[in-house]
Chains A and B, each alone.
Chain A
Amino acid sequence: MWGGVDGLTEPDKPVLEVEDLAVHYHGAGTTFRVVDGASLRLRREEILGLAGESGCGKSTMVEGILRLVQAPGEIPSGRVLFHPRTGPAVDILRLGAEEVRRLRWTALAYVPQGSMNSLNPVARIADQLTDAMTAHGVPTDKITLSRLGSLLASVGLSPDLLSAYPHQLSGGMRQRVLIANSLALGPDVVIADEPTTGLDVNAQRMVLETLLRARREHHSALLFVSHDLAVHAELVDRVAVMYAGQVVELGEVEEIFSTALHPYTIGLLASMPRMEGPRKRLFGIPGLAPSPANWPVGCRFHPRCPFAFDRCRSESPVSREDASGHLVACHLYEPTESKRLDAMRARLTLDGGRFGTRLQDHPV
């Protein structure tokens, strides 16, 4: 959508590859397989959106990628390959503690979700910008007041705030401080977890523009996590849709919005009101999101999927990629099931491209 960025060297070369990542939590006598075999590939300098409803494992996946999972959580399997600009790829999950520490912030920066409590309440903003720089070997005389000030200015904040404490800042200002901080070392990848959630539209626009500028100026790739599809449509190049701890569909943002493949994505889009076009009744996906303690056998979406058939209940679908690089994990797209796929398409056409439960009290 924002293609044609200057200095885009090898656009399809991945900078981060997540393969079969699993993050499990142990508690109450069971294992919560919050993320369970999720894969995605972040290309250099692209903005990849990670979408999905609450509780599908988006934030946990981010923590897994950054190796920030805290006990009682663990990462039982998976690989997170980081490709530096020079040199061979490294698996972040297999690195030693000191190697991971050095990789953080210079290679992988993080904009956390809980912006209200992510800053140290007893340290000045300047100190919290500085400590990451010194920890990664920026000499003290290179960290000037003007450098810190321009960092804040780049997210539209006054340099006066350098001497402020977090409690003196509003939520939107703190969020922007976190973003400014993540760009301090020009990282290869910025992983932003719901950076616009809870902000008013003005602050949202500011955040999005800052993230876009980060790519322009630092050539950073961005993994942008949000449950808000409208924000994805606004910002990202490609979208990965997560359901029940797995990535079920991944494709160019226009393709996802025009011709979504996975029934879940279709349902998700049907539940989103549109500003343009004729007024249509909104639909909700029937049923409830499953529990990570007990994922459904087979395809995890099958209990809620109106197109499910026998195979979906027993066999989990494998992700397959079409010629344009659009990935989907659904049995309907296997060559042998083309008749069922045609049936689904026919039914969707009849229903105006939508399925599911009509939402009540929504006038047409």
Chain B
Amino acid sequence: MERRGAVPHAPQESQLADSVPNTALRAARIVRRRRVLMVVVRRLGGYVLSIWAAFTVTFIFFHLIPGSPIDAYAQQMENQFGQQVPLSSQVIAFWNKEFGLNGNVFEQYYRYLTNTLLRGNMGPSFIAFPEPASELIFHALPWTVGLFGSAVLISWIMGLVAGLLLAWFKDTVVAPTLTTLALAGAQIPYYLAALGLVFLFAFILLWLPQQGAYAASLTPHFDFRFIGSVLKHSILPGCSLVITSFLGWAISTRALVVSIMGEDFLLYAEAKGLRTGTILRHYVLRNAMLPQITGLGISLGFAVNGAYLVSYIFNYPGIGLLLVNALTQLDYNVLEGIVLISIVTVLTANLLLDLCLPLVDPRIE
């Protein structure tokens, strides 16, 4: 007892300290670990099943599009050259094989699944033939993930802080006005914000570049000049996303915090004489963050395929621009690839969320 530094009125303290990790607890932990493993296996199974279902639905939808893409391609060539180019059956058979359209539906389905799921091969692009569609997509992906992923993260963090402040100071004169402004601002569509920003900073003030991901004179290199250029080019598209969505996060966080501020445990925390910082961090934020983490996961899942218009307005070489181009030129394989990538990211984000939430919220088993 003396070794530990005696605590008054706790004569049985050594006995208590020893009893904390007792055998019953250990047994419970083993049972719990086994249950957690079961949950993980079940979630993974569900994940694989949903991916398969989504891929199958995509396959069906793309096969429901009337007409054959090869015919459309031949038609396009005819229009382009203004003359009849009779495609021989061999040529058509070659193209059909190249695009995986030979054989009956089941053969095609089998080939589609093995190619896309196992090899990540979506076939060649029409526009950039013979470049594989997957190649185009994986070139565009880092730009999208980098720009939109960080925009979502930044606006989430900013929104959390702003919402917390709006709620905490709700009885002041300024906060209600700011809340109303935020409510209005959150309704501005991001593409409108983008147009406004481009107009102001790229056309009138000429402070920032109006389009592209980096200066045209540069080639992608890992040096300061290139990175600086990338950052400079990402300011406007990034801001147009952050400004509107951070206000949305702020509004929802404010609502959450206001409801938490009415909870009994907050009054209790105040009665305990905790410092305001402790109350905000351990009581308010930890409780408000849980639903917002779910929201963040969903937003990150959509970051890959969201905000096409911003990508288009800024001519940003991400998935958005690729999708718009593929749509206008009916590049089926690229379209299909983008749809599949979007499905995979949303489902993966949801899976990670499902598996991570119990770590932050003890109430979820």
Contacts and interface: CB of A to CB of B under 8 A. Distances in A.
Interface stretch (A1-9, A12-20, A110-118, A200-208): A110-118
A118 B265 contact: yes
Contacts of A159: 16, 19-20
Most buried by A among B267, B268, B287, B362: B268
A109 to B, nearest CB: 8
A354 to B, nearest CB: 39
B286 A122 contact: yes
Contact of A105 (B5, B20, B273, B360): B273
Nearest to A100: B273
B273 A150 contact: no
A101 B282 CA distance: 17
Contact of B286 (A119, A123, A165): A123
A149 interface: yes
Nearest to A162: B20
A124 B362 CA distance: 9
Nearest to B363: A167
B9 A217 contact: yes
A110 B271 contact: yes
B314 to A, nearest CB: 40
A103 B264 contact: no
A118 B275 contact: no
A146 B273 contact: no
Contact of B271 (A66, A122, A123, A217): A66
B270 interface: yes
A234 B273 CA distance: 31
B108 interface: no
Contact of A110 (B17, B24, B268, B286): B268
A132 B272 contact: yes
Contacts of B10: 146-147, 150
Interface residues of A, number: 47
A74 to B, nearest CB: 12
Contact of A68 (B17, B20, B271, B290): B271
A135 B13 contact: no
Interface in A30-74: 66, 68, 70-71
Nearest to B269: A120
Interface in B279-334: 282-283, 286-287, 290
Given A71-B171, A149-B17, A150-B13, A112 B271 contact: yes
B287 A135 contact: no
Contacts of A181: 272
Given A68-B270, A150-B7, A160 B275 contact: no
A112 B5 CA distance: 33
Contacts of A293: none
A117 B10 CA distance: 29
A130 B273 CA distance: 12
A136 interface: yes
Contacts of A110: 268, 271-272
B263 interface: yes
Contacts of A118: 264-265, 267-268
A114 B290 contact: no
A182 to B, nearest CB: 9
Interface in B62-94: none
Given A70-B267, A147-B7, A149-B13, A120 B283 contact: yes
B158 to A, nearest CB: 23
Contact of B282 (A71, A114, A131, A146): A131
A112 to B, nearest CB: 5
A104 interface: yes
Contact of B278 (A105, A117, A135, A163): A135
Nearest to B17: A146
A273 interface: no
Nearest to A184: B272
Interface string B1-30: 000110101101110110110101100000
A73 to B, nearest CB: 12
A103 B271 CA distance: 10
Nearest to A147: B7
B274 interface: yes
A258 interface: no
Given A146-B14, A160-B22, A122 B287 contact: yes
Given A104-B273, A146-B16, A160-B24, 12 more contacts: A66-B271, A68-B271, A102-B273, A110-B271, A116-B264, A122-B361, A131-B282, A135-B274, A146-B10, A150-B10, A162-B20, A165-B363
Interface of A: 66, 68, 70-71, 100-106, 109-110, 112, 114, 116-124, 127, 131-132, 135-136, 142, 144-147, 149-150, 153-154, 159-160, 162-163, 165, 167, 178, 181, 217
24 contacts: A68-B267, A71-B171, A101-B274, A110-B268, A110-B272, A118-B268, A120-B265, A120-B282, A121-B362, A122-B361, A124-B362, A131-B272, A131-B274, A135-B274, A144-B5, A145-B20, A146-B16, A150-B9, A150-B12, A150-B13, A154-B9, A159-B16, A160-B20, A178-B268
Interface of B: 4-5, 7, 9-10, 12-14, 16-17, 19-20, 22, 24-25, 171, 263-265, 267-275, 278, 282-283, 286-287, 290, 360-363
Top 3 closest pairs, chain A to chain B, by CB: A104-B273, A146-B13, A150-B10
